[in-house]
Amino acid sequence: MDTLTAIETRRAVKHFDPSHRMSEEEIGRLLGLALKSPTAFNIQNWRFVLLRDPAHRREVRKAAWDQAQVTDASLLVVLCANLKSWEQEPGRYWRNAPREVQEYMVPAIDAYYRGKPLVERDEAMRSCGIAAQTLMLAARAMGYDSCPMDGFDFEAVARLINLPADHVIAMFVAIGKASKEAWPRGGQLDPAEVVRIDRF
């Protein structure tokens, strides 16, 4: 499936075939594509927690308003971000770049993030949002359906996945084979309402 078709046909599916299993090769391919998502300064701050144990997923479902896609989707990804990835061996993010690029970028990372907790969090959410869209479009192109989710108790899920203190959860992405079509689109706003040229 081409990219434009994947964008046109991607929907937030709520009902998945619980008997369907994705192959390890498919999961690896999907995650490999997600890892190509861009991040500011290439710090790759996203972390993908794959919930695979059925009992664990049932516990997470309790913290997610009993939404069936948590247990029924073939793959449930908890998209998290490491808020401190910018200071954890930042040279590795540019190790393959020419020396002059490394000498510019690595200090720039520190200058951008140090002492700025809101920037850390904002970049975490941006990075995870981009990765989530990459996951959903890649899944669609591979013939799968998906659902982005923020309808859950973030603190309870953090405990269930042993989230480190310097990490945050952005969202879930459920991926699998739809067992029921998504609802019709609720109503897209007219471009004239949401697009501005140069300024508001």
Over range 88-101, report the average pLDDT. Answer: 97
Residue 110 phi/psi, 5-degree rounding, is -60, -45
* Contact yes or no for 70/174 (Cβ under 8 A): yes
pLDDT of residue 35: 97
Residue 181 has pLDDT above 90, yes or no: no
Residue 186 has pLDDT above 90, yes or no: no
Query: Please, is 182 exposed, middle or buried when counting C-beta atoms within 10 Å of its C-beta (0-12, 13-18, 19+)?
Result: middle
Task: Give CA–CA dist 183/5, Å, rounded.
Answer: 18
Task: Give CA–CA dist 69/121, Å, rounded.
Answer: 27
pLDDT of residue 33: 97
Residue 52 has pLDDT above 90, yes or no: yes
pLDDT of residue 185: 86
Provide the CA 58 distance to its chain's centre, in angstroms. 21
- Sorted by where each starts, the structural domains of the chain and their CATH numbers stand as 3-180 (3.40.109.10)
Residue 167 phi/psi, 5-degree rounding, is -120, 160
Q: What is the pTM of this model?
A: 0.94
Coil, strand or helix at 118: helix
